[in-house]
Structure 1
Amino acid sequence: MKYKNILLVHDDTDDAEIFVSLLKAINQKIRSSVESSALEALKKLQDSKLTPDIIFLDYHMPYLDGTEFLKLLRDIKGLKKIPVVLYSRHPEVMMLEAIAKFKKVQFLKKHGNFLKLFELLQKIILPEKSLKKM
């Protein structure tokens, strides 16, 4: 398994709960944590209270959007190389433009279809099981 310790930064508790349950369905050994505040997530990351293997980031968060979060995250020593997956309903073209200047950042489109989201998460977390890229 490529990623065992996953941080989700998302302010919608229902979406976060579904996301975490899908992660557990992929593999029970995955440890996930959820931060509902981008500012609090940055603080905990900076204080080394969180050490995720990957971060899933909702683009629309109060106080900081995804791009602002990424700028601040990449300025924190020791956190520049953590892969981030920007998670949004916005059009893919718009999101890809927003993340183009950042390294180790992908885009994952939010789907109302849980099976589709499960498959996309599985491709990210267990890439060896994936036959094709997202």
Structure 2
Amino acid sequence: MKNKLNILFIEDDEIEVMKLNRTLNSLEHNHSIQEAQDGEMALNILRKKDRLPDIILLDLNMPKMNGIEFLRILKNDETLKYIPTIILTTSSNRRDVLECFKIGISGYIIKPLKYDDYVIKLRSVLEYWSLNELIKA
């Protein structure tokens, strides 16, 4: 049985936010999404701890605090470190990939250029996490 996901999407590019929302609207499952334009805003949302997300979709290239800096803070917090975090970025830099896995991410997805490929990747990620037993734990 699929679970409805509560997703925190951390992305500073408005076009990427629109693309994600468009993709979510095309899926048959009605996941809820909360948006943050940068890592600082996301930490403020998370530190309230009133409604933690089931998963975080995180861009790496952001102003104020980049995704890797955010990830380090997140994974050092005793409550927040257990939230599955999936990198959704344009960076195919091998150093970024390795650093993110070292810190403790749940996945690393490079944003494809074609929208149809983007939908396929995102649908797969969301289907996996909506079926994953860790979300219920």
Is 1:22 equivalent to 2:23 in the alignment?
yes
Q: Which has the higher helix share?
A: 2
Residue 41 of structure 1: aligned partner = 42
Residue 20 of structure 1 deviates from its aligned partner by: 1.5
TM-score for both structures, normalised by structure 1: 0.85
Residue 104 of structure 1 deviates from its aligned partner by: 3.9
Is 1:74 equivalent to 2:75 in the alignment?
yes
Contact 2:11/2:62 (CA < 8 Å) preserved in 1? Answer: yes
Give the aligned CA root-mean-square deviation in angstroms: 1.9
* 4+ residue runs over 3 A deviation: none
Q: Flag the 1:13–1:50 CA change in 2: closer, same or farther, 3 A.
A: farther
- Measured against aligned partners, the alpha-carbon deviations of 1:93-116 in whole angstroms (never above 9, x if no partner) come to 333212121234311101121111
Gaps of 5+ in 1: 129-134
Give aligned-pair identity as a percent: 23
Task: Give the alignment of 1:1-134 within 5 angstroms.
Answer: 1=2, 4-91=5-92, 93-127=94-128
Contact 2:53/2:83 (CA < 8 Å) preserved in 1? Answer: yes
**Secondary structure, counterpart of 2:82 in structure 1:** coil
Q: Distance in 2 between matches of 1:102 and 1:3?
A: 27
Contact 1:5/1:32 (CA < 8 Å) preserved in 2? Answer: yes
Q: Distance in 2 between matches of 1:76 and 1:8?
A: 19
Equivalent pairs, count: 128
TM-score for both structures, normalised by structure 2: 0.83
